[in-house]
């Protein structure tokens, strides 16, 4: 690791709890190593606050490897920070320089209420996925690879969509607070492969209805969602979502 350190000021959102008033607070952080991750820098800040008898900043994290989607931060006005195709935990302090003031706040969207400080409740995403239900077809043990032929382009599309980690950056970036990129990724992932066909029509209707019930806005194709997505989910999944929904609600056969 580099031994040359520097100092920054973290301007962070502090909020005691749901529905409580919040405000930004400035905290200096010295001895920042450029090889630290952004979350490690917040760890250092929290250690210093604890030593001073100040309540540490609450922020969500888990894997710290860009897999779980938990570390949802808006850094200097951008969901997940200054870089493209990475989560907050994959942002490193070498992206900043001595004396920088870094503004950190939670994802802001009505369906993502603030729990405390930088932590938001993103259970609305869980409810959308639950509305999709289960795949009823019995898969049994792992089948022979060639027993269910899947065209490569279909498999690639499904796998690309399956990369969605449900972090919510698409919602935070969207001027309408839409979760259409997330929804489209889940619909495409579940609907393209053979095992997902029996419930395909019902699934899209249920998930769209739940999306709307949770208070997410409509998509106007600004493209801000895919730009902020740490997994670079393409806008194509929203087109697939719209096609499936149109088919299911205007003459397409719904199962059940």
Tens of pLDDT, residues 103-155: 999 999 999 999 999 999 999 999 999 998 876 666 667 667 667 778 888 88
pTM (2 d.p.): 0.89
Average pLDDT (2-14) is 91
With a cut of 70, say whether residue 20 has pLDDT above it. Answer: yes
Hey, which bits of 136-217 come out as E strands? Answer: none
CA 72, CA 166: separation in Å to the nearest integer?
A: 10
Task: Determine, yes or no, domain membership for 242.
Answer: yes
Distance CA 78, CA 70 (A): 16
Whether residue 211 is found in the same domain as residue 97: no
Give percent of the chain above pLDDT 90: 81
Neighbours of 107 (CB within 10 A): 21
Instruction: Using the predicted structure, report yes or no on whether residue 256 has a pLDDT greater than 70.
Output: no
Please tell me the predicted confidence (pLDDT) of residue 145. 63
pLDDT of residue 190: 85
Domain assignment present for residue 255? The answer is no
CA separation for the pair 180, 140 (Å, rounded): 32
Average of per-residue pLDDT across 1-9? 83
pLDDT given at position 8: 98
Mean pLDDT of the chain: 92
pLDDT value, residue 140: 67
Q: Domain limits at 152?
A: 122-249
Domain boundary among 91, 116, 141: 116
Domain of residue 61, CATH code: 3.10.20.30
If one counts the domains in the chain, the total is 2
Is it the case that residue 254 has pLDDT exceeding 50?
A: no
Structure confidence by residue, pLDDT tens digits, 180-223:
999 999 999 988 888 888 889 999 999 999 999 999 999 999 99
Q: Are residues 102 and 203 in the same domain?
A: no
Is the domain of 151 the same as that of 216?
yes
136 and 36 together in one domain: no
């Amino acid at each position: 690791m580099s031994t040359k350190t520097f100092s920054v000021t973290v301007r962070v959102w502090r909020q005691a709890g749901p529905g409580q008033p919040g405000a930004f607070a400035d905290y200096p952080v010295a001895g920042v190593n450029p090889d630290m991750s952004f979350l490690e820098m917040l760890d250092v800040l929290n250690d210093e606050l604890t030593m001073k008898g100040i309540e540490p900043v609450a922020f969500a994290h888990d894997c710290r490897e860009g897999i779980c989607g938990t570390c949802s931060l808006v850094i200097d006005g951008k969901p997940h920070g200054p870089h493209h195709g990475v989560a907050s935990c994959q942002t490193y302090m070498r992206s900043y320089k001595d004396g920088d003031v870094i503004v950190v706040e939670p994802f802001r969207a009505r369906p993502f209420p603030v729990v405390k400080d930088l932590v938001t409740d993103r259970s609305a995403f869980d409810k959308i996925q639950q509305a999709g239900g289960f795949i009823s077809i019995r898969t049994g043990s792992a089948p022979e690879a060639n027993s269910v032929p899947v065209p490569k382009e279909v498999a690639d599309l499904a796998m690309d969509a399956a990369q969605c980690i449900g972090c919510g950056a698409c919602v935070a970036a969207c001027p309408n607070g839409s979760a259409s990129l997330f929804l489209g990724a889940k619909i495409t992932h579940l609907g393209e492969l053979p095992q997902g066909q029996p419930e395909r029509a019902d699934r899209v209707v249920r998930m769209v209805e739940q999306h709307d019930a949770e208070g997410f806005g409509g998509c106007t194709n600004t493209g801000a969602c895919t730009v902020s997505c740490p997994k670079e989910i393409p806008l194509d999944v929203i087109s697939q979502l719209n096609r499936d929904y149109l088919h299911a609600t205007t003459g397409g056969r719904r199962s059940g």
